[in-house]
Amino acid sequence: MDAATVADGVRGQRRPIPIWLVIWAVALLLTAALYLFQQLWPWAVTYPEAWTVPLRFWVSDFMKWLINSFDLGLFTFKEFTRSIAWLLQWPLDFAGGLLASGFKLAWGEEAEWFIPRLSWLAVTAVVILIGYQSGGIRLALLVGGCFLYLVIFGQWDSAMVTLSSIVIAVPIGVVLGVFIGILGFRSRRAERLIVPILDLMQTVPVFAYLVPVLFLFGFGPVAAMVATIIYATPPMVRCAMLSLKQVPTEIVEFGQMVGCSRRQLLWKIQIPSARPTLMVGVNQVIMLSLNMVIIASMIGAGGLGFDVLSSLKRLRIGEGIEAGVAITVLAIALDRISQGFANRPPSEQRDRPDSFIARYPYTTIALGIVIITSLAGTFIEGLHTFPERLQVTTGTWWNDLVSWININFFDELEAIKTWLLLNVLIPVKRFLLVLPWLAVVGMVGLAGYQLGGWRLALFTGSLALFMAVTGNWEKSMISVYLCGISVIIAALIGIPIGIYSARHERAHRVVQVVVDTLQTLPSFVYLIPVVMLFRVGDFSAMIAVVAYALAPAIRYTDHGIRQIPPSLVEAGKAFGCSRRQMLWKVQLPIALPEIMLGINQVIMMALAMLVITALVGTRDLGQEVYIALTKADTGRGIVAGLCVAFIAMISDRLISAWAQRKKKEFGLA
């Protein structure tokens, strides 16, 4: 939000509260009146079908034109995207060959040469070495343990397919992100264009743009990678813009004073100084790429994602969990390595010896390991491909566990579920569905006005209107209902856990691990057991959403309380606050803005899960997007995807405006 709206917000806060109470009361009365006298204005209650703007058909037509007829002069748009795909294919094939499939070289018609992939021993050893370089012996052990899991649990082949696409997608995403970030940093106008696009990229569900991606980039791993890059790059762009802006002016001035050209200034001064924040971006790209593994496998990326899907389709829950954990394990290893590099002292060599070996000791060792293990692997097969008979699986144990719970506790679970469903879920859903659309649009605008002035009101109001106008009102309201309830439950569970973990160091450590796992374990893994225990429907969807969206509620609460200036806590102690008083009177109120940002994240993640919940049979925007995907209906998917994005944006802007105001009040901004 810009200065004007914030200023409006500040002014708003000075208005006496009772006026707002009155205004809201009037708004609610009007809503009730609309509902009660709906015969008078039926169009204000249910959006008339005749008024629907056929946007989805326009989008579809536009895409058709883009794909079939858009000519850039020398070549068509599709040829352009296809040649990008062709370019991307090369590194992908190379990484795939190196890690997963080996290289098959054909000469003429008859002869073929085969170079095998790197052995598990070589890859693990190199990764351990990287871990050691990035974070010392502890990290080396952790990373080694992660990769040994992949070996021992027989996940190696798939994990390497996944890893090979990650190691290509991440650098591309990072480089692309940095360049776009630089563009946005250098030109205000570019920034104004980029930021809303980033908002959309992060909130429109991936499924919505899979179809056009497939059309433009062809079926196969490259399309999956393109989708991954689209999904994973935005945080990198944001981090790049932010970090470049955060470089102290003095350092930039220093660069100017020694006579740096623009380019020197950027590459020798600004980028290196921005490195810590840039690394946060890299880390985000890695994590988001891994989040995409399942969806990518639906359009041909293969690897662990495919294993998860196919085992769960066959109800081999255990195998699915093992493959899912493999994704988590891979994510943890890559996450910790990248964090290690981010926190490590700068990498410049203090003295540069002349010999290659002394100058690049790690590279040399790594090369040595690769050569030695490859040779050894030629003679001893087990060193190249881990013998199957030594592999372990816990698959049946998980299956038995789910069956056992199913047989012994189903009735209890069913009772809880039924109660919640009949007393909470269904009434809320019905209530939201009967609300007149006009009133809802109005109230969303009103909230925008109260929190951020006219501009925000216009913004939120028109986004809400979009849902009605494109004929997605009912589905949007069901999405709001499902996400809303899930968010409330996630907050009710997450905030207390966050508070507890902020005040107990040991609990904090345990909670961190759980939170990391929740965020990286593909939701599909727990979706199927949940369906077995709670049947297809809204309740299962809600549980899946809560499980996925819980993490930020915990994390932000924990962080919010921890970041309270110690002087405030000391002041509280000096006044003789008990622990309980300290929490309620000091810590919580001050941490509130941060907690609200956490809730904001919870909402974002809940909306991100909407599409996944369509897999267990909800009837919301997620389902609309999913249907569009399977019917290859571009327009339908994108319009529904935009509705999801707009719900996200409305809540994001409202909450941010609110939190901004509060932070200002507390002088924490």
Partner 1 sequence: MKAYCRSVFLAALLASGTALGAAPESKDPIKLTIHDWTGQYITTHIMGRVLEEMGYNVEYQQADYIAQFAGLESGDLHVAMEMWETTGKQAMDESLKTGKTVDLGETGMKAIEEWWYPLYMKEKCPGLPDWKALNDCAEAFSTPETHPKGRYLGGPVTWAGFDDERAEALGLDYEVVHAGTDAALFAEIQSAYERKAPILAWVYTPHWAPIKFKGEWVEFPRYSEECYNDPKWGMNTEKAYDCGKPRGWIKKVGWKDGEAKWPCAYQAVRNFTISNQAMGEMVGEVDLDGKKVDDVVENWIKNNEDTWTKWTQCS
Partner 2 sequence: MESPERSVKISCHDLWKLFGDNAKEYLTEHNGSVSAQSLKEAGLIGAVCDANFEVFEGEIFIIMGLSGSGKSTLVRCMSRLIEPTAGKVMFENQDLLKASEHELIDIRRHKMGMVFQHFALLPHLTVLHNVAFPLEIQGVDRASREQRAREIIELVGLEGRENYYPRELSGGQQQRVGIARSLAVEPDIWFLDEPFSALDPLIRREMQDEFLRLQNLLHKSIVFITHDFDEAIRLADRIAIMQDGHIIQIGSPEQLVLEPATDYVAEFTREIPRAKIFSAGAIMAPPTGNTLGKVSASTKIEDLAETVVNSKSDVAVVDSDGRTVGQLSRRAVLDVLVGKSTA
Spatial contact of 486 and 542, defined as CB atoms under 8 Å apart: yes
Cβ distance to partner 1 smaller for residue 215 or 459: 215
Residue 91 binds: one of partner 2, partner 1, none (C-beta under 5 to 8 A by kind): none
Least distance from partner 2 to the Cβ atom of residue 258, Å: 4
DSSP-H helix ranges across 204-316:
206-217, 221-232, 234-246, 249-257, 262-264, 271-273, 275-291, 293-298, 304-313
CA dihedral 231, 237, 240, 245 (to 10 degrees): -140
Question: Which of partner 2, partner 1, none does residue 220 bind to, with CB < 5 to 8 Å depending on kind?
Answer: partner 1
Residue 253 binding target from partner 2, partner 1, none, CB below 5 to 8 Å by type:
partner 2
Stretch that binds partner 2, among 80-88, 96-104, 258-266, 647-655 (CB under 8 A): 258-266
- C-alpha neighbours within 13 Å on the C-beta side of residue 173: 32
Residue 2 binds to partner 2 (criterion: CB under 8 A): no
Helix H or strand E encompassing 637: helix 634-666
- The CB-of-604 to partner 1 minimum distance in angstroms stands at 22
The residue among 236, 210, 377 whose CA lies nearest residue 296 is 210
411 binds partner 2 (CB under 8 A): no
H helices of 421-472, in order, are 426-434, 437-469
Backbone angles phi, psi at 104, to 5 degrees: -110, 120
Q: Which of partner 1, partner 2, none lies near 348, with the C-beta cut-off 5 to 8 A by kind?
A: partner 2
Footprint (CB under 8 A) of partner 2, residues 262-321: 264, 268-269, 272-273, 275
CB of 176 to partner 2, least distance (A): 23
Give the binding range for partner 2 (CB under 8 A) out of 66-74, 112-120, 251-259, 490-498.
251-259
Residue length of the chain: 669
Cβ nearer to partner 2, comparing 351 with 388:
351
φ, ψ at 22 (rounded to 5°): -65, -45
CB-based contacts of 382, cutoff 8 Å, min separation 6? 390
Q: Work out how close the CB of 570 gets to partner 1 at its nearest, in angstroms, rounded to a whole number.
A: 53
Q: Write out the two tokens for 104.
A: 């098959």
256 binds partner 2 (CB under 8 A): yes
Residues in Cβ contact with 37 at an 8 Å cutoff, skipping those fewer than 6 apart: none
Give the position of tokens 């010896």. 353
Residues between 507 and 526 with contacts to partner 2, criterion CB under 8 A:
none
Q: Which helix (H) or strand (E) holds 103?
A: strand 103-107
Question: Least separation, in Å, of the C-beta of 559 and partner 1?
Answer: 35
For the CB of residue 170, give the shortest distance to partner 1 in the complex, in Å. Answer: 22
* Non-local CB neighbours of 380 within 8 Å, separated by 6+ positions: none
- C-alpha to C-alpha distance for 189 and 227, rounded to whole angstroms: 27
Q: Which is nearer to partner 1, 110 or 351 (CB)?
A: 110
| 12 binds partner 2, rule: CB under 8 A | no
If the CB atoms of residues 179 and 267 are measured against partner 2, the closer one turns out to be 267
* C-alpha closest to that of 243 among 177, 340, 334, 339: 177
Q: Are 285 and 232 in contact (CB under 8 A)?
A: yes
Q: What's the CA gap between 241 and 394, in Å, rounded? A: 46
Question: How far apart are CB 242 and partner 2 at their closest, in Å?
Answer: 17
Question: By C-beta, is 378 or 578 nearer to partner 1?
Answer: 378
What type of residue sits at position 441?
V
Stretch that binds partner 2, among 249-257, 353-361, 482-490, 504-512 (CB under 8 A): 249-257
Counting contacts by CB under 8 A, is residue 261 touching partner 2? yes
Other beta carbons less than 10 A from residue 527's beta carbon: 23
How far, in whole angstroms, is CA 132 from its chain's centroid? Answer: 28
Nearer to partner 2, 275 or 663 (CB): 275
CB of 388 to partner 1, least distance (A): 9
Q: Which does residue 350 bind out of partner 1, partner 2, none, counting CB within 5 to 8 angstroms by kind?
A: partner 2
Answer for which of 175, 258, 416, 536 binds partner 2 (CB under 8 A) is: 258
Least Å from the CB of residue 537 to partner 1: 6
Beta bridge partners of 104: 114
- What string of DSSP letters covers 364-385? HHHHHHHHHHHHHHHH-HHHHS
Q: What is the distance between the alpha carbons of residues 450 and 470, in angstroms, rounded to a whole number? A: 27
When CB distances are held under 5 to 8 angstroms depending on the partner's kind, the choice from partner 1, partner 2, none that residue 598 binds is none
342 forms part of the interface with partner 2 (CB under 8 A): no
User: Scanning the structure block, which residue is given the tokens 């708003």?
Assistant: 12
Residue 251 touches partner 2, criterion: CB under 8 A: yes
> Which DSSP string corresponds to 100-156?
II-EEEEETTTEEEEEPPPPHHHHHHHHHHHHHHHHHHHHHHHHHHHHHHHHHTT-H
- Is the CB of 3 or the CB of 50 nearer to partner 2? 3
Q: Is residue 250 part of the contact set for partner 2 (CB under 8 A)?
A: yes
Which residues are at the interface with partner 1 (CB under 8 A)?
Answer: 102, 106, 109-117, 157, 211, 214-215, 218-220, 297-302, 306, 309-310, 312-316, 377-378, 381, 384-385, 403, 406-407, 410, 414, 418, 421-422, 426, 527-529, 531-533, 535-537, 540, 613-619, 623, 626-627, 629-632
Interface with partner 2 (CB under 8 A), residue from 79, 112, 253, 400: 253
List, in order, residues 6 or more apart from 178 with CB less than 8 Å away.
236, 240, 271, 278
- Residues between 580 and 599 that touch partner 2 (CB under 8 A): none
356 binds partner 2 (CB under 8 A): no
DSSP 631: T
186 binds partner 2 (CB under 8 A): no
Instruction: Report how many residues bind partner 2 under the rule CB under 8 A.
Output: 22
One of 346, 387, 566, 667 touching partner 2 (CB under 8 A): 346
DSSP 3-state of 234? helix
What's the min distance (Å) between Cβ of 344 and partner 2? 11
- Tell me the Cα Rg of the chain: 27
Contacts of 368 (CB under 8 A, 6+ apart): none
Binding site residues, partner 2, CB under 8 A: 248, 250-251, 253-254, 256-261, 264, 268-269, 272-273, 275, 345-346, 348, 350-351
